[in-house]
Structure 1
């Protein structure tokens, strides 16, 4: 008969069928070594009587174990545990901490990736006030989007279901080109637009294709952690360029890091400080790039949201030498989950980037591209942007009122003419990262400013105000204010 511990766990109240419970119990006993190789098992009739189940239950379990090779049947002699397990890698072993076991052999690139901080939100992916970079998800035009999706899925053309153009769906590239020409002052044709899986993929491609490990790159300081992560993972030497009221200090970079091969810049609305790169600095940067042969990576991440006057034209529109690569995304303006971004490339780089993009994930999803293309063509995109611009302006004003009412004086705010978040610089003795943890304890999400610096970190907090309705924001401000005042 079987050892007492085998199949002692049968649960007749479970939703798992009894024959699967018998199968799992016997399989586990074989893998653990409780049932030794070449051991003869009781007959199905005897085992059924012992377990108090039907013989068919045991037969079904035996059949599966025989099929998978855990048991073997000997004609006229009965059923035995196989003398060699079918997959010895399945045998249960003691799980040791990684420090006690065999260390995995990683590539140098993998080790760099493990050292890189991609975002402060990987460990807290929740959607709650005051997380920055979040659009108003509940105000997305779901009904219009649903109808477009339903129509495209009803009878989709074969080219949207097959392997598509790695450059992206042509109508979408055309719609993006027309939109950028009209609203951002970007000079491009559809043949210069490459669809990516969000802006992060575009940043990674540019770093990997245009620079070698050890090359220098100017990085705004403070700057965007996601871009920094892509550059660090590629083994680049990041050169921190300070920010003043006119944006990146180009002359500082030219003086201290003259041999850099690329510049990463957010000229329309510097991340995270919200400063606009002045025209003088833009011309200085383009002149330096032309003379040094460097590339400029222009991240125009949320330029649509300017609440005073017309959105400023892109740096790319001033470029006469094909040195600027323009990066855009729909994550901030529509939904992060759409995962569609784009690059506008000088024509001579297009084939290279298309080839590399094909090796990464072949192509972006066809139907989603087609839906977005029509959404832009029929005016839905611009209607949504106008609506959100008004909504976000109101939400910024509301946030400033709530901050004045609930937050202590050592957490000051100033209105911003653009963007989706506000920054408060701290002159208090508190650590911004410690305050982030205190906020988390009461269910509020804020971002620390200091990790955005490469050197000379300044303490501060980033508050996103665009993604959350009034009642949620008011409750979060009240709870956070109570904690901050107690400190």
Structure 2
């Protein structure tokens, strides 16, 4: 069914005029190249939250004036005769009607031509720096072993579990043996395994607000009541959770680098959270999604390392450290919970992770490549983080202010109050940038506005400046 047209802001030109003006400006400024395919009517209408007929009016005018050409079933393209003009300076942003907030998974990879991830993709490691030759050798070695072709063990490949246990003891202060480590295909599978093993369906769960959207979405699908607990400058507010949701029996947190604000949970809050879990017979899922990457001081110890009562379920990922196609994550539990998680693994629907990949990763870790890779990436990411922040600095006067946190793989850019971050992100994504709005991480609730930008694949200063300039231009709708 066609969506109703969104209402323009008072004093703004009609929506179809704004769409027309935006496309004309992008073509004249060279953001859309001659011969480049543009979005279909349906796709653009869905993206902007307007009626398909509204987009049709704009496209018809662009076709009539020669900016676009229609090629039947192949789609609509920028005319080969369209000549880019000198781009005008950005003067005003976010003048289109606001699309409805969405909660796209931040690690859903948006691709541009050739399958290359779009600029500013979050949760994506530096693909240009992955040691492909070394990895190919490890994979080839495992292919020659018949054991790598067998059906995977439900709880994971034991050499990988052993390697991870040793690594976590060294790097994150977690004291666990291999049997306490369980291999799963993704973070959402970690949540599903935990809820199943602990029998938490039907219970209430604290989630950070703002927080990683797939957490709340997954818990709801698993039958839990989600309770939004506010995040302040010190991370999740335990006192708020106690006061407003006293019956909850699960809390899902990102203590090393809160997702998305970047703050670290201080010692006092960690103690409060552990005390709450002990008193309430509750559980804490620690999502340590990028705890290895801290750029001031040493990486913080995991919350799990303080867990004397066995209340913390530690979740880590290899996909964000190595490459997303790996699809390997892991869960670490207290010794007394091992039988419950083993039974849940045998019941799980995912059927285990491919042993070939697990075996290659086990070798990567046990032979020391993993630690060296993380150390090298920490240095690289610190440099790329600084380059993106430097490129954004000139736009602080226009309302785009970066507040650097101590770690992570993305930047949070505050935007001034009169700009709508949901609209800005929508315009950026329409222009090919994998940008997210902070508001969508709060389920659309009022509060701080900002944009989330990954920096790990920004290779040099020139690229950073070019991408930021193009991003800022993508926010602009020129007058028709």
TM class by shorter chain equals 0.7 to 0.9
TM-score by length of 1: 0.72
Query: Aligned partners of 1:463, 1:191: CA distance in 2, in Å?
Result: 37
Give the superposition deviation at 1:118.
5.6
The structure 2 residue matched to 1:314, chosen from 302, 308, 321, is 302
Does structure 2 retain, via aligned residues, the 8 Å contact 1:408–1:485? no
Determine if contact 2:277/2:284 at 8 Å carries over to the other structure. Answer: yes
Q: Does 1:431 align with 2:417?
A: no
- Whole-Å separation in 1 of the counterparts to 2:111 and 2:410: 18
- Alpha carbons 2:404, 2:411 under 8 Å: kept: yes
Equivalent in the alignment of 2:473: 482
- Aligned pair in 2 of structure 1 residues 208, 433: CA closer, same or farther (>3 Å)? farther
2:139 aligns with 149
TM-score (norm 2): 0.73
* Per-residue CA distance 1:327-358 (angstroms, 9 max, x = gap): 00011111011111100012232233233333
* 8 A Cα contact 1:316 1:326, kept in partner: yes
For the structure 1 residues 415 and 117, does the alpha-carbon distance in structure 2 shift closer, same or farther, using more than 3 Å as the test? closer
CA distance in 2 between partners of 1:125 and 1:300 (Å): 26
- Which position in structure 2 is the counterpart of 1:367? 356
For 2:45, the equivalent position in structure 1 comes to none
Question: Does structure 2 conserve the Cα–Cα contact (< 8 Å) formed by 1:217 and 1:260?
Answer: yes
Residue 228 of structure 1 and its aligned partner are, at CA, apart by 1.2
Of 438, 447, 451, 2:436 maps to: 447
CA contact (8 A) 2:110 2:118 kept: no
- Deviation string 1:76-108 (CA, Å, 9 cap, x unpaired) is xxxxxxxxxxxxxxxxxxxxxxxxxxxxxxxxx
Q: Is residue 209–residue 228 contact of structure 2 (8 Å, CA) maintained in 1? A: yes
Match of 2:256 in 1: 268
Q: Which residue of 2 aligns with 1:354?
A: 342
2:221 match: 233
After TM superposition, the runs of 4+ consecutive aligned structure 1 residues lying more than 6 A away are none
Corresponding residue SS for 1:360: coil
**Separation in 2, partners of 1:243, 1:458:** 11
Within the alignment, does 1:195 sit opposite 2:183 as a pair?
Answer: yes
Tell me if the contact between 2:198 and 2:340 (Cα under 8 Å) persists in the aligned partners. Answer: no
How far did residue 408 of structure 1 move? 5.1
- Once the two structures are TM-superposed, the CA of residue 122 in structure 1 deviates from its matched residue by 5.1
Q: Residues of 1 paired with 2:338 and 2:147: CA distance?
A: 22
Secondary structure of 2:188 counterpart? helix
User: Which whole-Å CA distance do the structure 1 matches of 2:430 and 2:222 have between them?
Assistant: 36
Select the residue among 256, 263, 271 that pairs with 1:283.
271
SS in structure 2 of the partner of residue 416 of structure 1 = coil
Residue 313 to residue 247, structure 1, CA distance change in 2 (3 Å) = same
Cα shift at 1:246:
1.6
Partner of 2:16: none
Cα displacement (A) at 1:243: 1.3
| Distance of 1:118 and 1:367 partners within structure 2 | 31
Deviation at 1:386, TM superposition (A): 0.9
RMSD: 2.1
Structure 2 residues not aligned, in runs of 5+: 1-101
Residues 402-436 of structure 1 show CA distances to partners (whole Å, capped at 9, x for unaligned) of 10135653110022210011112222322211101
Distance change (3 Å), C-alpha of 1:447 and 1:221: same
1:461 aligns with 2:446: no
1:55-454 pair list within 5 angstroms: 117=103, 119=105, 124-126=110-112, 127-153=117-143, 155-156=144-145, 158-358=146-346, 359-405=348-394, 409-454=398-443
How much does 1:125 deviate?
Answer: 4.9
| Structure 1: distance between partners of 2:205 and 2:199 | 9
Q: Secondary structure at the match of 2:398?
A: coil
Cα gap change, 1:221 to 1:282, in 2 (>3 Å):
same
Point out the more displaced range, 319-328 or 128-137.
128-137
Deviations 1:242-276 (A, max 9, x none): 11222111111112211101000100000000010
Q: Counterpart of 1:96?
A: none
Shift of 1:477: 0.9
